[in-house]
């Protein structure tokens, strides 16, 4: 049977979530509710994927995937919405996801790149884009749910 291996890596690296050479501000401390090992809910007969999130320092996370690939990220809250800024391994590209954590359930969402009407040319423009559009109905798309491993 086909296994859903590397689902998380595919979502983070190959997704259609908004990407930019510019990053959001890294001004907030980590959300401690994110720290731990998260797994996709298993479908009977299939293995789930996991994502380990560790604190790298007071403001950054280390994301460790099943494949042992590691990425650095940080989070920021904009108009009450949590945003994860994931930095590519080369450091020259950022990918953005919305997320929320409640009762050991992590939901993350792609940021819809179709909402972007023009190229972003600065960090300020990127932040303004988020502030001006984050409350639109279709800003977040393609939700994925993960459960915290209690081991």
**What local confidence, expressed as pLDDT, does residue 13 receive?**
46
Q: Which two tokens stand for residue 107?
A: 């939901």
- The pLDDT, as a whole number, for residue 150 is 80
SS3 96: strand
Q: Which residues contact residue 150 at a Cβ distance below 8 angstroms, ignoring those fewer than 6 apart?
A: 104
Three-class DSSP category at 30: coil
Please name which of 96, 94, 92 lies closest in space to residue 130, comparing C-alpha atoms. 96
pTM score: 0.85
Q: Is residue 19 pLDDT above 90, yes or no? A: yes
Closest CA to 51 of 5, 102, 97, 120: 5
Contacts of 80 (CB under 8 A, 6+ apart): none
Stretch among 41-50, 95-104, 116-125 having the lowest mean pLDDT: 41-50
Structure tokens at 96: 């953005």
User: What's the sign of the alpha-carbon dihedral 125, 26, 112, 63?
Assistant: positive
pLDDT digits (tens, 9 = 90+) for 90-103: 889 999 999 999 99
Whether residue 5 has pLDDT greater than 70: no
The yes/no answer on whether domain 7-148 falls in CATH 3.30.70 is no
């Amino acid at each position: 049977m086909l296994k859903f291996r590397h689902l998380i890596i595919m979502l983070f690296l190959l997704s259609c979530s908004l990407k930019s050479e510019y990053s959001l501000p890294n001004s907030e401390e980590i959300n401690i509710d994110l720290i731990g090992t998260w797994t996709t809910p298993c479908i009977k007969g299939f293995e789930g994927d996991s994502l380990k999130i560790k604190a790298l320092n007071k403001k950054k996370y280390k994301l460790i995937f099943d494949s042992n690939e590691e990425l650095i990220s940080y989070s920021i809250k904009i108009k009450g919405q949590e945003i994860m800024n994931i930095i590519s391994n080369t450091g020259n590209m950022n990918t953005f996801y919305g997320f929320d954590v409640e009762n050991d359930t992590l939901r993350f969402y792609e940021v819809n790149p179709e909402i972007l009407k023009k190229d972003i040319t600065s960090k300020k423009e990127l932040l303004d884009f988020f502030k001006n559009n984050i409350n639109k109905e279709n800003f977040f798309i393609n939700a994925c749910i993960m459960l915290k491993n209690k081991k």
